[in-house]
Amino acid sequence: MNLKAEKFSMYRIYLLLRRDLGRQFRTLLLVVGAAAAILITIDVLSFSISPQQGEAGHYEGLFASILIIGGFIFSSTAFSELNWGTSARTYLLLPASPLEKTVERILLSGIGWALLSLVWFSLYSYLSVTLTELLSGRHHPLFRPMGAQVWQAFAHYLVLHSFFLFGSIFFRKNPLFKTLLSLFAVALLYVLLSFVAVRIIFAPYVSGTFAFQDWKKLGLIIENLQFRFYERIDLLRTVRDIFYWGALAPIMWILSYLRLREVEIKDAV
């Protein structure tokens, strides 16, 4: 992979973004408008019937769900043009390098979706609060767009969306469901291998397993694990955090770029 040989221009990336936003603006406007109307109707009814629904943190949790779930769906369609003959040829012939196209889709499906979700959800929540108070006389806490929970959701989304971006170009059909199944399979394999590894490595300290009555406590009983291996466990957590926050998304972005180059080579573009 020779990135130095790739053409890279922020202006071409801007043109790609303008092209995609121009093509998808009406669809996005209809979708977010319909979603806002449905959510506002639900808010007015639910807050009128049950005022407890308006507890602090309600909007922050709902925003995180919409950001992540909606973003996964949106990211899974990032390279949907490549699944259709005419549109695939048109997209591959655009005067931009694979690197520029990949960066543009990362910006659009990652930062672009996050910002759109924040602006849209803020407008929806303020309108919902206003209408609820006018129609039912009840007030509930406002959405806090600068709250810690919102930024935490942003951070996790920017990492996790990279899997679905890669899935959109790797899987030709049903990329969303295939990506979810792939992630589930990888997670299951990871859990099984970790369980076996812990069982072998810490065999001298294992004294049994928790009962199945409480699934949250299911696992091995390792006597004084935290005190015996505190430094090693702390090191493993640090390595895990560095990999998750610093390496995971870039790895998936690079794989997406390589896959796009492969598609262009196969199609002789």
Domain coordinates in residue numbering, the chain? 3-266
Please state, in angstroms and rounded to a whole number, the distance separating the CA atoms of residues 15 and 183.
33
More confident residue, 207 or 258: 258
Report which of residues 58 and 113 the model is more confident about: 113
Model confidence pLDDT, tens digit, residues 117-165: 999 999 888 888 888 888 777 777 778 888 888 999 999 999 999 999 9
Average pLDDT along the chain? 82
Percent above pLDDT 70 for the chain? 80
Contacts of 131 (CB under 8 A, 6+ apart): 40, 43, 44
d(CA 266, CA 260): 10
Say yes or no to pLDDT of 17 above 70. Answer: yes
> In terms of pLDDT, which residue wins out, 7 or 74?
74
pLDDT at 52: 56
**Inter-residue contact 63 to 121 (CB < 8 Å):** yes
pTM surpassing 0.75? yes
Supply the pLDDT for residue 5. 61
Question: In sequence order, what are the beta bridge partners of 221?
Answer: 208
pLDDT at 179 over 70: yes
Q: Is the pLDDT of residue 49 over 80?
A: no
Q: What is the DSSP letter of 229?
A: S
Across 28-34, average pLDDT: 83
Amino acid at 32: V
Q: What does the pLDDT average to over 198-226?
A: 54
Give residue 181's pLDDT: 95
Collapsing DSSP to helix, strand or coil, 207 comes out as strand
